[in-house]
Structure 1
């Protein structure tokens, strides 16, 4: 059907009426079509590259005249047959890539280069700003302005099987504002909006899978609209046995405008979802997962025991009653038995919530004695035959664990759990020390974060922004390693990088975030910019994009506040011949640095023939191999050696002489081959 859509577009250029009749028939067919995961693999996406110099054999589109809207003619693809200069202006002869084979001469400034996702690309990175706020030897966060599919291809060279955690917040495909496919917004009434979205996601998820370590995990935020389809797609890409969980995250409450709808019987949406898939079973065995704790307001009446140092026990409530400072509050708030044999004594469990809410003295007493407050439970198997004296508790040690055991009046042995095992600082929006419960797949309370999320980072952005606390807690649960690599390739305004920087600031970690976002304009801004006579690539246009207007200022604030090191990059598209002949080393250099861990000095120039930094070395003049090898041996922190040569014999000779544990990488064969291989994925 996607091929039919393309043919219909071509027919419309010649006969709009015939195209409309054909479309009516195909639409009717589509409505009857059974739909599941048998979705259309639509014509591979294309991305326009404003600012990229037009070269012979490039694919291009013709831009509309300034101030005019896009038309079907502007969607046609052309191939540049030749480029020439006339009267000081650059022109191009272009040939249409459809069956019409039309030819045209166009001013180069009215063309924009297009990269289709089936085409190999040879990316470079240009630094647009470095931020050093802490120790320059610490790893750097990387922020990349790029089309994320091409960025993922580039990361296959630097981070294949090297990422610990991926978190993404892709377009929800709600139809409210649309999302862009092949440089067009997909409207809510597009009959193929679901299959286009699935094709869009599948291409990226296939690459993301290979970027994960065997112990890695991917977490994807999604709404109701695509959650069922996304789950099936991720079952297909990652295998259903690698599904870890589907979280329901409370992002709103039934209040405000939602109240009216709810009162009329509508079931309003309060949750969004996070789908979690591991790369393999190594995620369960090789990674530390950190439980998260939600605070609980009510007192647990199952903790009535007070443990004395001599092994005896008594009532916790009697001890509270006997504590002078607490007794004052018990009397003040009328928490005593009114009549009977216990008249005047503390009521106990039924009024504990009131006492703890009103008495600072009671809260202090409980907090200082958590290890003395307990409840009984089933004993361990090894403790059931232990000789426990009646009326006293004893320590029982087995297999490196310590238990407290006691015997009831009937002679039954019990284990004692103390309250300090579930009293801790909660992971709530406002953390508090108190009773907690381990969080499951329902993550409550994030509606509180949503009330402040638009101002996080000091830059307003109300386009589906996720709370920093949510991302921080997802990462902490999934992999709390202080050296984890976290990737977000739907980076938006930069929430994930902000969250990771905050985690490092809190615990001194050296986690590295890689955030990929683009400079896309929202539909309203894009339409207004066109009306104003601006085009993609114009400074006035680019200043409105999410990268320039949101991500950069927001992350500058975040990295400054957390004293994090970071570098901002823009992805470029290079000619393979210039790369292979070492004429674009400055644009390839950041990839080598990223592959070596984005730490220490970056080697940006090898005009001297070779250089060795803290993490890696590069040699282009093999006649200087002895000096290079000596420098490698003298730098024990080096892990990579990039060797520039076309000759197998010379490369192998260098590999044999490298220090142990140094990984050799051949330039530019490994680099160029990576992108030739990855281009093939776009045809799936």
Structure 2
């Protein structure tokens, strides 16, 4: 609707009467709000790409003169031609009623991508750290996060196990930009711009998450938590959503003028499919006590909806012999039928019914078929107390504890029931509550202070406690040793750091994909502009978030050394305590997002930039095929490439010699030849047709 208000204003300028009539109709329509969250879906969102070379047909803006701190021309121009000799471009104003052109030096232009534009992404490696042997690589990608998310729809669609994000909180204090402008606190569209920005990214994130079992975790404070909650419900209607309150500043809190001082923020937990919160200790909490919790539970149902009338199908007899052994499990009797009139299957047996102490009729926990199975496997048993019989059974939770090794099975007794005991040394683990008060989550001590230890003299506002992020992830990926974790507002890189900690604790091979742009802090931009620097200049880019904070922090965590090469001082705390200078046995590679043309992709001219995407799709491990092989094919550790279909036979023979191969990329325009080769691949190797799969993916997923 913000777009409509702009158009109505233009109409008023041309025809006051028509404009006023349109304005009245608009206000009538906008007052009829449907149920749910309503906000302006500002379109198009646009982003400047200072590192992108200028090409014919590009949308561009003209930059202000070097040294100027004034806002530049925000109009969009299209490049009609490029004069290489003069290093200039001929531009035409987009959307103008009358043609307007100008010639501008290439150095004074910046490419602009609108979010309705189709993009064809690539990646350029900007460095790596390798200490993890054959482990998969963590990746840090410098780029506009919406565009990187689109790129990941090709590499990770439906395969991400957990997403943890800490988006801008929309404080009004220049903490984020919309269309190249900081969103100020007095912006009347401040909340709708934030929601539009978030919705676009969450919709793509939805494509990446594994629908069978995954989780999305979103950190937020009080400024947008109400709107975010509604947005999450609308975007993920089939998910289960909870909100956790996390105390992150227990010592001092954050002052709010004329209000209570805030010590907490919130985590929205969005669970998909069979995702469940694992019972696990939280960093900084006391060691759980020895496990003495009950193992067997009464088969008789208690509580609400436990009466015979509420669940008539669960009212049936269990027949017991006079010596206390099980004879059989009877069938459900109709509601209203008198249990006293049910005839026993044998004269020497009596019935055990689910009867309350007051004599009223209750129900069993399980149906008769399930109870028969439970007695057969030993997960149900009879207990005798004088002349009274009761029935116990193992709940699903206790069966899981047996599978997890928390409860030992010592055998079976003479009746066939399992003999169980708590494993020696086992502790009682409970699921975390919805209010987290662990001292390990102090963002001052274990966010800001810890970050200064890793990259001294480099400031980053409000980093999360490493242990708070570690805990949030642990509750969902502790049993997934090869989980893929994504953070597309990665900031200082805490999520990647937390994943490394989890890997060290259990020998896991989890990998984290961290996405951030290279935005320079607002208070530094003005000084840099006065020096004559612009985005894209090396002197500017070296101070951006990705290059100045994220990449050095991830590298320092792995190597155990600060950027100047000295060992990191201090120790990690809580769950796993060791010197930070030890580092981690992990691998990481850093990339910058590029923007390719479909013609260059389909003609193999962009292979070196598409190559990292092929590697990422195959699991981001082992060797990467960096260039087109002269022999027509090449085999790496996790994937293979056939760029000459006439060499299919030696290619397939080579595949059979490699263990753990996941994907075979086949370059061909001929679908029949692709299918013929695909049928000959070894079992378990996925055939992917290049570049048809790449071009189709982005043709269909990026237009808005």
Q: Same fold (TM over 0.5)?
A: yes
Q: Deviations along 1:624-647, whole A, 9 cap, x unmatched?
A: 111111111111321111011111
Shift of 1:503: 1.4
Going from structure 1 to structure 2, the CA distance change for 1:386 and 1:244 (only over 3 Å counts) comes to: farther
Q: Does 1:675 align with 2:698?
A: yes
Asked if 1:572 corresponds to 2:613, the answer is: no
Quick check: 1:121–1:679 contact (8 Å CA) kept in 2? yes
Quote how far apart the aligned CAs of 1:384 are: 5.1
Pair 1:403–1:663, CA change in 2 (3 A): closer
Shift of 1:530: 1.6
Q: Deviations over 1:347-388 (max 9, x none)?
A: xxxxxxxxxxxxxxxxxxxxxxxxxxxxxxxxx995753689
Show the counterpart of 1:226: 224
Task: Output the CA distance in 2 between the equivalents of 1:11 and 1:455.
Answer: 55
Residue 344 of structure 1: aligned partner: none
Query: What is the RMSD computed on CA atoms of the aligned residues?
Result: 3.5
* Residue in 2 that maps onto 1:642: 665
Following superposition, the deviation at residue 98 of structure 1 comes to 2.0
- In the TM superposition, 1:454-493 aligns within 5 A as 454-457=448-451, 458-459=454-455, 460-480=458-478, 481-493=480-492
Q: Which moved more, 1:217-226 or 1:245-254?
A: 245-254
How many angstroms apart in 2 are the aligned matches of 1:516 and 1:453? 19
Distance 1:82 1:497 in 2: 43
Residue deviations 1:69-91, cap 9 Å, x none?
Answer: 343x6110011111124xx4222
Measured in 2, the distance between the counterparts of 1:249 and 1:256 equals 12
Flag the 1:160–1:618 CA change in 2: closer, same or farther, 3 A.
Answer: same
User: How far does residue 553 in structure 1 lie from its aligned partner after superposition?
Assistant: 1.2
Match of 1:443 in 2: 436
Partner in structure 1 of residue 124 of structure 2:
126
The whole-number CA distance in structure 2 between the counterparts of 1:616 and 1:108 is: 40
Distance change in 2, residues 1:563/1:417 (3 Å): closer
Structure 2 partner of 1:600: 622
Separation in structure 2 between the aligned mates of residue 663 and residue 133 of structure 1, nearest angstrom: 29
Distance 1:579 1:381 in 2: 63
Q: 1:132 to 1:403 in 2, by over 3 A?
A: closer
> Contact 1:294–1:437 (CA<8 Å) still a contact in 2?
no
CA contact (8 A) 1:54 1:108 kept: yes
- Tell me if 1:548 matches 2:571: no
Number of the residue aligned with 1:453: 447
* Contact 2:221 2:265 survives alignment (8 Å): yes
CA contact (8 A) 1:292 1:477 kept: no
Q: What per-residue deviation string (whole Å, max 9, x for no partner) do you get for residues 473-502 of structure 1? A: 111101211110000010111111111112
After TM superposition, the score normalised by the length of structure 1 is 0.74
Change (3 A) 1:569 1:199: same
Partner deviation per Cα, 1:637-683 (whole Å, 9 max, x = no partner) = 21111011111122112112111221111111110111111112xx3
Is 1:519–1:542's contact at 8 Å kept on the other side of the alignment? Answer: yes
- CA gap of 1:671–1:40, structure 2 versus 1, over 3 A, is same
How far did residue 254 of structure 1 move?
Answer: 6.3
* 1: CA distance, partners of 2:254 / 2:210: 44
Aligned counterpart, 2:111: 113
Greater helix content: 1
- The equivalent residue for 1:47 is 47
User: Aligned with 1:283: secondary structure?
Assistant: coil
Aligned position for 2:558: 559
Q: CA deviation at 1:455?
A: 3.2
> How far apart, in 2, do the equivalents of 1:605 and 1:298 lie?
53
Does structure 2 conserve the Cα–Cα contact (< 8 Å) formed by 1:179 and 1:186? yes
Provide closer, same or farther for how the CA distance between residues 563 and 34 of structure 1 changes in structure 2, counting only shifts above 3 A: farther
**1:468 to partner: Cα distance:** 1.1
1:89-100 alignment to 2 at 5 Å? 89-100=86-97
SS across alignment from 1:628: helix
CA contact (8 A) 2:281 2:288 kept: no
Name the SS of the counterpart of 1:454 in structure 2. Answer: helix
Q: Closer, same or farther in 2 for the Cα pair 1:663/1:385, shift >3 Å?
A: same
Query: Are 1:293 and 1:437, in contact at CA under 8 Å, matched by a contact in 2?
Result: no
- Does the Cα contact within 8 Å between 1:599 and 1:615 map onto a contact in 2? yes
SS, match of residue 554 in structure 2: helix
Unaligned runs of 5+ in 2: 293-378, 388-393, 411-419, 560-582
Q: Is the 8 A contact 1:153 1:678 kept in 2?
A: yes
Do the aligned partners of 1:126 and 1:587 also contact (CA within 8 Å) in 2? yes
Assess, with a 3 A threshold, how the Cα gap between structure 1 residues 251 and 623 changes in structure 2: closer, same or farther.
same
Contact between 2:460 and 2:492, CA under 8 Å: does it hold in 1?
no
Q: What are the ranges of 5 or more consecutive residues in structure 1 without an aligned counterpart?
A: 304-379, 389-395, 405-415, 425-435
Distance 1:192 1:613 in 2: 50
